[in-house]
Every structure is written in C-alpha cells, then in structure tokens.
Amino acid sequence: MTRTTVLTPDHVPAESKQTLDAFTKNIGFTPNMMAAFAQSPIAFNAWAALLGSLSKTLDVRTRDSIGLAVSEVNGCNYCLTVHSFTAEHMAKLPADDIILARKGHANDPKRDAAVQFARKVSETRGQVSDADLKTVRDVGYTDANIIEIVALVAMYSLTNFLNNVFDPEKDFPAVPPAGSI
C-alpha cells in the first residue's frame, strides 16, 4: 500500500510538470517516486537541480555505487531497486559489483575508498574520523571531491527518506532483501 497519492504526469502541479516531463522523456516512463515527489514543486525542482549538478561529478559507477551503499544504510528498498537497475544498465556494473556496493565496497580501489567513505558519512551522520578522511584522500580524492561525495550522500538520503515515508509502489525490478546478500 502506498502512503501518498501517486499523481499521473497530467495531474502534477504545473510548476513540477516541465521537470517531470524531462525525466519521463529520458527514462521512458514516469517512476512512481518522481510522481509522488512532484507534488511539491519546490522540493522536487530543487532535488532535480541537485541531481543534474551532481551528475557531472565523479564517474557514473562511483555515483551509482554510492547510491547503493547509502540506500542500503537507510533501508530504502525503492531506491535499491532503482540504483540496482541503473548500476546494471547505465553504469554497466556486474552483479557482483552491485552487491559489493550495497555492502559499502567496490572492486576498484579508488571507487572502494569513495563508497566506504560515503557509507561512513551516512552511518555516522558525517562524524567521520581523521583516518576516514586520510583514506579517501590517499587514493586521490581532493577536498572538492569529498564535498561532492558528501553531497551525493545527502541527495540519496533525501530520496531514501522520501521513499521510506511515502512507500511508493516499486516500478523497477525487485532486489533481494539486505539480509540475503
């Protein structure tokens, strides 16, 4: 059961319509989460702008891996289905890498440091240690990159919380529960 009314693209507030239509065109359909989120044009358009800006940072595999790790920490099954799908189909991550990302790791050492750091930021609400910062810096991430990782954690957490609160019907292929991976 969903906890909010999922609007169709024809029934969202006018201020959300252009942004939602752009997502629908790019994705090929309107995800239920976006239709629910679009009920607040201010929040939805702000999130879309942040998503667009952060899509220019790091690389798609690292971004999707961070999304998987953060969604796992936050227990967001909806986002885990979305990020698993995009990690496989857009980032071309193998299934083993998707599972590793959900566990807060990656096969690539640099991506692994970013994903571990993102998971630590999420778990500790940003109260990371000097050693955590040193680890992510030692593999080549700059302070600007670290800020971008933190921004990705915040952005993914926003959608995780939204989906945990409103529980939209999942419209991406199901993934196994966290305890079974």
Write out pLDDT tens, residues 167-179.
888 888 888 866 6
Query: What is the b/e burial string over 59-97, where b = at least 16 CB atoms within 10 angstroms of the residue's CB?
Result: eebbbbbbbbbbbbbbebbbbbbbbbbbbbeebebeeeb
**Residue whose tokens read 């967001």:** 76
Half-sphere exposure of 2 (CA within 13 A, CB side): 15
Q: Which of 15, 54, 57, 65 is nearest to 37 (CA)?
A: 15
Residue 3: pLDDT above 90? Answer: no
Mean pLDDT of 101-121: 97
The whole-model pTM stands at 0.92
